Each structure stands twice: as structure tokens, then as C-alpha cells.
Amino acid sequence: MLLAAAMLRRGDSIVSVADETGVPVALLDLMSRETQAWITPVVLPPGEALRRRRFNLTVSLIGTAAIADTATCVASLLHHLTAVGVFSGAAAVALTAAIRLLGRAS
């Protein structure tokens, strides 16, 4: 049933979904009509899609930097470079906090 619902949402025809999943056509027709009733297309204001892409890219880059700082912290502490380890660990914590704050702001 879940596979059939996903295929209907994807836009596959009712007959092809019935053939592939074994779900009766009448049930698929009912599912199709019911889901179409509550699915409304999302219309974004002009420029909003670009803003969201930039925001997601920013969060991804900050997350990558946090992971790199964590790796640097671990490597430097293993090689007894305490100052570098502490600094990169603090930077990793700050970047992780920035991601959390950005997540709450969006």
C-alpha cells in the first residue's frame, strides 16, 4: 500500500500501479482522489527559491567546516598539539551552534 501510494504521488497511472503492486484498481482510484483533495501546490514568492537554495548551501558549508574542525581537533590532540586541538575543537562547537541557530531561524 505504501509503495502504491508513493507511485500515485509520483504521477504513475492507476493501471500501471495496480499491475506492479497488486492493489485493486478501485482502491487506487479512491486513494488517488483522496490524496488529490488535500495536496495543494506550493507557490513560492519570486526570489524565495533562490534564497532557500543559498540558505541550504550556507548550512551545508558550515556543517562541512564543523566536521573538518572536529577531525582537525582529534588529529592534533592525538599528535600532542594541544593548542591547535583546543582551538579547532572550540571552532567546531561554535560552528555547530551556528547551524542550530540557523535551523531555528528558518
Model-level pTM? 0.54
As a whole number of angstroms, the distance between CA 14 and CA 27 comes to 10
Phi/psi of residue 46, nearest 5 degrees = -55, 135
Q: What percent of the chain has pLDDT over 90?
A: 38
Domain ranges of the chain: 2-38, 48-105
- Cα separation, 74 vs 91, in Å, equals 13
Confidence of residue 92 (pLDDT cuts 50, 70, 90): very high
Which pLDDT belongs to residue 86? Answer: 94
Maximum separation of any 2 CA atoms in the chain, in Å: 69
Taking only the tens place, the pLDDT of each residue in 49-85 is: 888 889 889 999 999 999 999 999 999 999 999 999 9
Cβ-contact 17, 23 below 8 angstroms = yes
Average pLDDT of span 26-52: 77
Interval 5-20 mean pLDDT: 84
